[in-house]
Structure 1
Amino acid sequence: MTNPLLQPWTGPFGLPPFDQIRDADFGPAFDMAMEEGRAAIGAIAENPDAPDFANTIEALEQADALLDRVAGVFFNLAGADSTADREALQRDLAPRLAAYSSEITNNRALFARIEALWQGREGLGLSAEQARVLMLYRRMFLRAGAQLEGAARARLTEVKARLAVLGTQFSQNLLADERDWFLPLAQADLEGLPDFVVASAAAAAQERGQEGHVLTLSRSLLVPFLQFSPRRDLRETAFRAWTARGANGNEHDNRAIAAEILALRQERAQLLGYRDFAAFKLETEMARTPGAVRDLLMQVWTPARSKAEADARALTALMQDDGINAALEPWDWRYYAEKRRKAEHDLDEAALKPYLELDAMIAAAFDVANRLFGLSFRPLDLPLYHPDARAWEVTRDGRHMAVFIGDYFARGSKRSGAWCSAMRSQKRLGGDTRPIVVNVCNFAKGRPTLLSYDDARTLFHEFGHALHQILSDVTYSFISGTSVARDFVELPSQLYEHWLEVPEVLERHARHVETGDAMPREMLERLLAAQNFDQGFATVEYVASALVDLAFHEGAAPADPMARQAEVLAELGMPRAITMRHDTPHFAHVFSGDGYSSGYYSYMWSEVMDADAFAAFREAGDVFDPALAAKLERHILSAGGSDEAEALYTAFRGRMPGVEALLRGRGLDAA
């Protein structure tokens, strides 16, 4: 039979033929794609003609076209809709793809051509974009060990292959723990839970083939349970299961894997001549050094901890009013914080959620994109990879810009969290290629699906990433869309969250799911006034995670990461009733791959910029100011990695910001 992954995709917008692809197609397709890639790379390296930009760099850009296409489909499905066959293939592919990548960067003849271009770059007549792409390719090869010799070169190849295996194993272990655990809830266990939580628990039971109601480890179900359940025993059971993911002493335990990953990263860095992995990783980021990262995080940590400790005293008093004369525990915090929010801000999430229905919030995100960037969204009725996924064509002035796929509901086959990816990236080389962009979330399904305000922020956040892909306008895929420094990539996503705070956006889209009435003005005002409520907690749990990540990668790798984690938290004076947002055994950002390793701080580095960037719109007197939106698109959203992040931001804002706007935005400036 013909393998649909290896045929031209002639359907609408060149989308993958999801209804024809079977799991058995992926293995042969990867084999063929790597074979084609090897042949293309060999032809470039052995080309008898003198190297020039077209026959070396542009040829490299196109050498893996088939592999990019197959991988773009497979890895999206592996994260969003895992199956046993996909997990097995992912384990098989991890070392093979790492070895394939090493073959390319270890190819001496190929690197010699790149180095010749670099040394003669002044006489090549390159455009600014081409010069940037040449520099990035050379840097990638150098950081992959292209100049290593003998045993060091061979060992680095082994290390990278093993890291790929371990990262895949870490992710699959975490998914297995999340998929396998659920807590049946008897009727009495539903006491005090709002209707939307009860409905989500019923939907979760149905998804798992259970009767009645169950609690799962999906954040969008578990967090509301912790907020509203008066059953302290059940809150403790749920919280302990949530924080024990990857550390249950079973076949899915991630603790030894984390230790081996850290040791191998340290070895990798030292093979390349760096003191430690943090120095290696941060060299190419905006922060540059571990010291700069720590300075930022500690500027925020001190006022955040002070605020959290004051909040803990207030929550303890509320708990004592309930007759519980015990220390405030992590499974108590959200329950009493919700009580306090209702008392101080008269804001009840159960009353708020009917105004934040999923489809209405999608429409709000689309409306903001239309008002800022002139984008329009047309629903598409096409076969996709899962019945929950849906798609839209994105256009501007009648021109096709992208296909956007939204996959919003939690399920057992989907890894936790929320993310944006591209099945196909924008580029102009070889013809105008428009992207296929995917947003994946884990909202608890309901009928209808009602979001918390935090869920709605997540939706806007991921759509901000999507706009970075949709509006990309570069020639080379190597710098397309979100291909930027890790501590810059969160700027568009976190900036976009601010438009959810705009009263006219909520007035237009936050309408009661049953009556259609707009959110009452006084509720809207209370919601916006309470935005910084519990920021001490939120900031402490995040910054603690970022500082532990940094400590893991500075100096010698810890033999026992859990012991090192405990040491760091003790040194920080971590409040006892707050835990890290991501405990080491389920810290997927750091251990499922290298993306956020030694880089979890990136969200806060970007937040310094997003707070300052939105201030520019406020200063303009119109948060939809067309000239400023055009400037944002030109210098950041469409520019990809075409320049250094500092240069792109400065072109937009005129200067780099300080931490003050971030502290004001989190309500920590007076803490």
Structure 2
Amino acid sequence: MFRACQRRNLITTAPFVIPKAKCRLQTTAATAIRDIQRNVFSVRANHDRHEDDTLRKVFDSKAFWHDFSQTYRRQAGPSVGLFQNRFLTSHAGFLAFAQDIRTRCQSIVDEVLQASSSEAYQTIPRQLDLLSDYLCRVLDLADFVRATHPDPQYQRSATQAYAYLWEYMNVLNTTPGLKTQLERALAKPNVFELWSEEEANVARILLKDFSNSAIDLPKADRQRFVVLSNEVKQLGSQFIDGMTPSTPTVRFRSEETRGMDPAILQRYSSGIGRISLPLGGDIAYAALMTMHSSDARETVYRQSKTVSPSQLQTLETLLRRRAEIAKLSDFPSYAAMNLSDKMAKSPEAVDSFLRALSADNATRVTHELHRIRVAKESDGLSHVIEPWDVAYFQNRLNHQAQGKSRRLDFLSAYFSLGTVMQGLSRLFSRLYGVRFVPREGGVGETWNPDVRRLDVMHEDDGHVAVLYCDLFERDGKSPNPAHFTLRCSREVSPAEMGDRTLGSHDGMARALNRSTGKTFQLPTIALICDFPPPHDHQSPSLLSFRDVQTLFHEMGHAIHSILGRTSLQVVSGTRCPTDFAELPSVLMENFAADASVLGLFARHWETGAALPYEMVRDVLEVQKRGQGMQTETQILYSLLDQAYHSPLPGKATFDSRQTFYDVYDGFGSIREARGISPQGMFGHLVEYGGTYYSYLFDRAIAGKVWREVFRGGHDGGGVDREAGERFKEEVLKWGGARNAWACISGVLGDEKLKNGGTEAMEEVGRWGVHE
């Protein structure tokens, strides 16, 4: 019932390529860019020139940021606490925060359990929502800090606080009295008829979540559920930590590595004529793309996809424990349990979607494999395509298509980080009436001096969110881009406003909404990326086009949290079905490639010259190649995720490696290598657990929305306020408070989708992921 928010990050498994908007050649593209750039300030109502310029400079100029961020230190005083949380002025405050929250939670639990009058029952949805909010205030912050904070003491304290409250949350999830009281409230017409639609929806969501927590079972089974849930959490962390090849490096003679970038080879030279390549991360993939030797590529492929037996044992134990949880909760499988409150509803519906998508994708796969086969045969090699051939020949074909053009080498000069952030603010101002305003952080408010705080301002509502941007790479920092909801939006009740011990007792931001006259705790968001920092005090951080797409993706999650207009926390922003949560972020990737959107900001960092759109077109043409195989890779991982969370792990004969080959032999276009264990590095199994298909599903929906709502970017559709308002009103503002199929039906104007079901899932599969 009570759950912490999930972080939202790009699916990067094996290897991941961000989907992109299909490039339609338009003779007016360059003209559109120039026109928009000339007029950008005149059309940006309430977008102050000084704020706009400051936004760019705080990311682009080290000197400017140094002066800007030092302002508050000239009035140095005591720490305001991490994220302005008054408990977190030091690492020791985490446990005190957790203990304080647990006391407050128990008071709410006692009050709910003692409710007997109609008036008391009427408050139960909001009481339980406040209970959830309190739990998440600690769990979401702690989850972020233990994964991101550079200070080991903060990490340990956050982990301790997380474990302390996580166990308590699982106890609440198996407390029968809470479910009984909620059922009684729902059974009283004079109670539920007075609830708002949102309150009634939250009550139904919480009741269903209770049922998924084995709450109706005997006490011993409920206790077993708590034990299993805690064990799954620990196994998940152990699995993530163990995602490394069993052999960390591989040694080659220098002649075997021909084709690789000499700069990379020099970095990993281990003696005269010897190269020791690390098998984790981008280096292994670079080797697979460029090494001419098929034998060397095979070695990299096999060893980079083989983990230790203990890592596979951790995975299989995790899957078995999940199967046991599902059985306790009276579900046939963990996927069936986890999908019951998602758009798909059932594994059968997911299978229908994936099969329809695979059928749509088959022609592209056939075409791409034919091109690879021809290229391989032209080298006098066998026509049989091996798994370690795909990246190499696709990369070679891409270079041949690109020819001698050096456009790609210079594209990043038009995308300084500050310019892109400025462009995102301008875009959101155009579409939704919100903008980013840099603000000096208080003493101790952030976890690193490079973190920038942005206040999100709405043209009518005022201050609506706080956004912390940790976007530069540094030693010890995770390279994976991610969006964290540190605290959700929620309406603060009049009772809380009148009681200093409630509501914003932790000191974090809340504000009066000028349009509604109601006070909200502001959504607090952290964006994590791994971009190169500015080289010196003169030159900014320059992003590749892929980096721009990544930043747009993560900002799609952020805008979902920012524009959520729910009064209850349980359904705020990204607290919606997993297979719906990626829609705003995937949709944003289309904006990153749109001529009108790029016209808002893309200029050369030195000359100020407008971006020639032909440069972007070239990138899109290169990215488009190989998309069939990349989509098939994601389909296979989605099918594997379904198999691993089917009834199979509940059987004594379950073997994750055999299941892997059953899936790949049955559905893959290329025979997978034997003896490998890539499932041991499939980290998204931990977070998604039967819902990995979600990214492909939302890509298909996002493509449809982009084409039909934003007109595929034609005629300025990418910056059209009417289209933006339509998406906001039908999708973004609801968070999880509205049935997700109703949101899709509303924004697309298609009543057939309103009730969802297997046929609707199959229909989405037929749309494909061509964008």
TM-score (norm 1): 0.83
Answer with 526-535 or 133-142: which moved more: 526-535
Partners of 1:493 and 1:285 in 2: CA distance: 18
Match of 2:614 among 522, 531, 537: 522
Q: Does residue 121 of structure 2 align to residue 46 of structure 1?
A: no
Q: How far apart in 2 are the matches of 1:163 and 1:51?
A: 39
Does structure 2 conserve the Cα–Cα contact (< 8 Å) formed by 1:532 and 1:666? no
Post-superposition CA distance 1:210-231 (Å, at most 9, x none): xx99968445x66556545667
Task: Say if 2:439 is the partner of 1:390.
Answer: no
1:299 paired to 2:394: no
2:521 aligns to what SS in structure 1?
coil
Letter in 1 for 2:710: F
Question: Quick check: 1:484 aligned with 2:571?
Answer: no
- Cα-to-partner distance string for 1:65-122 (whole Å, 9 max, x where unaligned): 5543333332112223466556656765666444312321222332221111111156
Secondary structure, aligned partner of 1:385: coil
* CA apart distance, 1:343: 2.3
Residue 553, structure 1, aligned to residue 645, structure 2: yes
Residue matched to 1:274: 331
Q: CA deviation at 1:128?
A: 0.8
Report whether the alignment pairs 1:440 with 2:511: no
How far, CA to CA, are the matches of 1:179 and 1:464 in structure 2?
Answer: 36
- Checking the alignment, whether the CA contact within 8 Å between 1:366 and 1:377 is kept in structure 2 is yes
Cα distance in 2 for partners of 1:522, 1:547 equals: 38
Which digits, 9 at most, give the CA deviation of each residue in 1:123-145, with x for residues without a partner? Answer: 43111111111111211212112
Structure 2 counterpart SS, 1:438:
strand
1:258 aligns to 2:320 (yes or no)? no
Correspondence 1:365-380 to 2 at 5 A: 365-380=424-439
The whole-number CA distance in structure 2 between the counterparts of 1:86 and 1:189 is 46
Q: Is the 8 A contact 1:268 1:277 kept in 2?
A: yes
Mapped to 1, the partners of 2:141 and 2:556 lie a distance apart of 22
Q: 1:553–1:598: 8 Å Cα contact kept in structure 2?
A: yes
- Equivalent residue of 2:471, what SS? strand
8 Å contact 2:79–2:89 — kept in the other structure?
no
Say whether residues 1:286 and 2:381 are aligned partners: no
Q: What's the secondary structure of 2:211's corresponding residue?
A: helix
Gap change, CA 1:81 and 1:314, over 3 Å in 2: farther
Residue of structure 1 in register with 2:565 after alignment: 473
SS at match of 1:607: helix
Q: For residues 61 and 158 of structure 1, do their structure 2 counterparts lie closer, same or farther at Cα, with a shift above 3 Å needed?
A: same
Question: Deviation of residue 301 (structure 1)?
Answer: 1.9
Report 1:208-227 matches (<5 A). Answer: 217-219=280-282, 223=285, 226-227=288-289
Paired residue type of 2:745: T
- 1:336 aligns with 393
CA displacement at 1:570 relative to structure 2: 0.7
The answer to whether residue 177 in structure 2 is matched with residue 109 in structure 1 is yes
Secondary structure of 1:437's aligned partner: strand
1:362 aligns with 2:450: no
Among 118, 128, 140, the alignment partner of 1:72 is 140
Given that residues 377 and 394 in structure 1 are in contact (C-alpha distance below 8 angstroms), is that contact kept between their aligned partners in structure 2? yes
5+ residue gaps, structure 2: 1-77, 270-274, 494-518, 754-759
* 1:415, distance to aligned residue in structure 2 (A): 4.2
Please tell me whether the aligned partners of residues 83 and 413 of structure 1 are also in contact (alpha carbons under 8 angstroms): no
User: Are 2:711 and 1:618 aligned?
Assistant: yes
Deviation, 1:525, is 3.0
SS in 1 for 2:525: strand
Tell me, in whole angstroms, the C-alpha distance in 2 between the residues paired with 1:273 and 1:534.
43
* 1:197-218 Cα shifts (integer Å, max 9, x gaps): 869x98x99xxxxxx9996844
Q: Is the 8 A contact 2:439 2:455 kept in 1?
A: yes
Partners of 1:227 and 1:336 within 8 A in 2:
yes
Q: In structure 2, which of residues 433, 440, 454 is the aligned counterpart of residue 381 of structure 1?
A: 440
CA distance in 2, matches of 1:296, 1:601: 9
User: Retained in 1: the 8 A contact 2:425–2:436?
Assistant: yes
Tell me the secondary structure at the aligned position of residue 325 of structure 2. helix
What SS does the corresponding residue of 1:254 show, helix, strand or coil?
helix
Alpha-carbon separation, structure 2, partners of 1:566 and 1:555: 17
Pairwise CA RMSD: 4.0
CA drift of 1:664 comes to: 6.7
Equivalent residue number for residue 56 of structure 1: 124
Range with bigger deviation, 47-56 or 178-187: 178-187
| Secondary structure of 2:485 counterpart | strand
Cα distance in structure 2, aligned partners of 1:318 and 1:451:
32
**What amino acid is the match of 2:520?**
D
Q: 1:658 to 1:75 in 2, by over 3 A?
A: closer
Quote the residue 1:100 is aligned against: 168
Q: Normalising to structure 2: TM-score of the pair? A: 0.73
Residue 726 of structure 2: aligned partner: 631
**Contact residue 308 and residue 575 of structure 1 kept, 8 A:** no
C-alpha deviations, 1:451-509, integer Å up to 9, x for none? 44333222211110100001111111111001111111111111111111211333454
Unaligned regions of 5+ residues in structure 1, if any? 1-8, 206-211
Give the superposition deviation at 1:39. Answer: 3.9
**Could you tell me how far apart the structure 2 residues matched to 1:83 and 1:227 are?**
37
Alpha-carbon distance change, 107 to 315 in structure 1, aligned in 2, over 3 angstroms:
same
The Cα of 1:56 is off from its aligned counterpart by 2.6
Q: Which moved more, 1:27-36 or 1:182-191?
A: 182-191
Following TM superposition, by how much is the alpha carbon of 1:193 offset from its aligned partner in structure 2, in angstroms? 6.6
| Displacement after TM superposition at 1:294 (Å) | 1.0
Structure 1 match to 2:16: none
Match of 2:491, SS state, is coil
- 3-state SS, counterpart of residue 575 of structure 2: coil
Aligned mates of 1:192, 1:328 — CA distance in 2:
20
The whole-number CA distance in structure 1 between the counterparts of 2:162 and 2:84 is 25
Conserved in 2, the CA contact under 8 Å of 1:304 and 1:535? Answer: no
Matches within 5 A, 1:303-318: 303-318=360-375
User: 1:31: how far off?
Assistant: 3.8
Query: 1:18 Cα shift?
Result: 11
Is contact 1:333-1:577 (8 Å) kept? no
Kindly state the Cα deviation for residue 653 of structure 1 after the two structures are TM-superposed: 2.1
1:575 pairs with 2:670: yes
- 1:179/1:412 contact within 8 Å kept: no
The one-letter code sitting in structure 2 at the alignment partner of 1:57 is P
CA distance in structure 2 between the partners assigned to 1:355 and 1:308 by the alignment: 34
Contact 1:373 1:629 in 2 (8 A): yes
User: Partner of 1:248 in structure 2?
Assistant: 308
Does structure 2 conserve the Cα–Cα contact (< 8 Å) formed by 1:19 and 1:384? Answer: no
Residues 170, 13 of structure 1: CA spacing in aligned structure 2 closer, same or farther, 3 A cutoff? closer
Give the AA of the match of 1:264: R
TM superposition shift of 1:164? 1.7
Q: Quick one: distance in 1 between partners of 2:459 and 2:719? A: 18
Q: What number of residue pairs does the alignment pair up?
A: 638
Cα 1:543–1:437 change in 2 (3 A) is same
Q: Which amino acid aligns with 2:526?
A: V
Per the TM alignment, residue 371 of structure 1 is displaced from its structure 2 partner at its CA by: 1.5
Match of 1:260, SS state, is: helix
Distance in 2, matches of 1:564 and 1:236, equals 23
Tell me the equivalent position of 1:34. Answer: 102
Shift of 1:437: 1.0
Larger Rg: 2
Structure 1 residue aligned with 2:25: none
Q: 1:571 to 1:395 in 2, by over 3 A?
A: same
Instruction: Quote the offset at 1:183 in angstroms.
Output: 8.5
Residues 82 and 413 in structure 1, CA contact (< 8 A), matched pair in contact too: yes
Q: Is the 8 A contact 1:607 1:662 kept in 2?
A: no
Percent identical: 23
**Separation of aligned partners in 2, 1:612 and 1:667:** 10
Tell me: CA distance 1:468–1:194, structure 2 relative to 1, closer, same or farther (3 Å): farther
SS of structure 1 residue aligned to 2:169: helix
1:648, distance to aligned residue in structure 2 (A) = 1.9
Deviations 1:20-50 (A, max 9, x none): 433x443443344334433442343235655
Whole-angstrom distance in 2 between the partners of 1:650 and 1:128: 19
One of 140, 144, 167 as aligned partner of 2:213: 144
Whether the 8 Å CA contact 2:571–2:736 is kept in 1: the answer is: yes
SS of the equivalent of 1:432 reads strand
Q: Pick from 725, 732, 736: which aligns with 1:641?
A: 736
> 1:385 Cα deviation (Å)?
1.1
**Structure 2: distance between partners of 1:664 and 1:519:** 32
Distance 1:534 1:451, change over 3 A: farther
